[in-house]
Structure 1
Amino acid sequence: MRASAPSRWISYYLHWDHIGDSTEFPSALLILGPGAIEYAAPGYPTLPDAAFLGSVFSHPGGVRELSRIKDDWKTFPPFERAYDFFSDGSFFLVDAPGHMPGHLIAVARTSLAGDAPEYMIMGGDCCHHRALFTGEAEIGVGFGPTGLPSLHLDLDAARKTIGRVGELGKKDNMLVCLAHDAYLYPPLHLFPENINGWRERGVKEKIEIEKNTRKEDIRPCPLDVHT
């Protein structure tokens, strides 16, 4: 793929380990979730201690932040706001707050075969372990170097988002994939292989086997931990 090929580049949120290098696609329009600019701009180096790169907000291809008021949102139950990216139901950007302002979840339709359309739910950092959206574990709450009580800026919103992702994950035609999901490989095909037809290949069941084979002790951080 040539750098000039993509017309749009979606950042589901702006943490350094997810934003990538904006200079790779200089002509692509950057799409951000609601509230991202107000929270993260102007970034570094305008603010020397900023956690976000200011170059993102002056991207040469332009920046478009989705608006909860001006944009035409649909529902993707149980989520209330889903932006139909191509206006054909094949790809949605879902407003999924909690981890930080502007956090999005992407939903891609991967097959129309069977009794219901097949979807892949790209959950980003709505949570960081599958046991959280399945209800097997709770969000860790403690106090790290920044003084924040959690990996999520808005705990209540994060719990609501995680609960909704969990509802989707219970459906046979929905496959939830997290950004930091340790169990997706080898069950899920990697690029450039095709992800379509994951249900027929039993990918969801294989991921569950992978998770149960590598059992981990997931426990919340104690509240009295300070560093």
Structure 2
Amino acid sequence: MINLIRTALMVFLLVGCTSAKTQSMPYKSWHLGFSAPAYMEVWIETADVIDIQGQVYRRAMSGVAALLTPPNNSGDPRGWPKRAGMGGGKYVTGADLPKKIYVRWQSLVEPQTYKMVIDIPEWTREVMRKEERVFCAFDGKVITDYREAISIRLVPGGIAKVWVTGPCLNPIEVTMVKAEIDPRGPYEGKSGGKHRPLSALSKAYVEKFGVPYESWE
């Protein structure tokens, strides 16, 4: 019996070591973040991740995307950011680097429900594994940093732009994806066609200026 327990323990330890070695990134987890232009509110129903080991992480992110809604219509939603941030999101704990990201979201200013699959190319994962020495303004010193974040910008019309970035490193554009309309509507057809409500500030902006679709083409 004692020998059986010892054998089981050894197998457990070997499996644990093998699992640890198969993770291909030099940090424990990577960040999945979302943003939207000023006033162009988004509700993410789900963002599911498939990593390079083939594991699926459902609802790795959901909820609101980061955006600004300054008063008096003083914000400007037009165009893509000159320097994309990490966006609002979460660290995908337990996952290896991403292979595919499935996103279903509500664009509240339209309103419309979109879905898409983002393929993450191998060169992006190589960038995420590469350490770089960089001066970080947050610390005020030179540090070793990684581009450990996938940042996704969602805009009206179902367009998404994707960057790989890090806390102190410049973002690198990965791809731009045109989503398709989900014919089921919001919440996979379970809400009777009702989208989440738009905030008063965003509603006031859209009523006055409309949605600048052409600025994201």
Q: TM-score range by the shorter chain?
A: under 0.3
Q: Which structure has more RCO (C-alpha within 8 Å, separation ≥ 6)?
A: 2
Greater strand share, structure number: 2
Between structure 1 and structure 2, the one with the greater Rg is 2
Question: Normalising by structure 1, what TM-score?
Answer: 0.23
Question: Normalising by structure 2, what TM-score?
Answer: 0.24
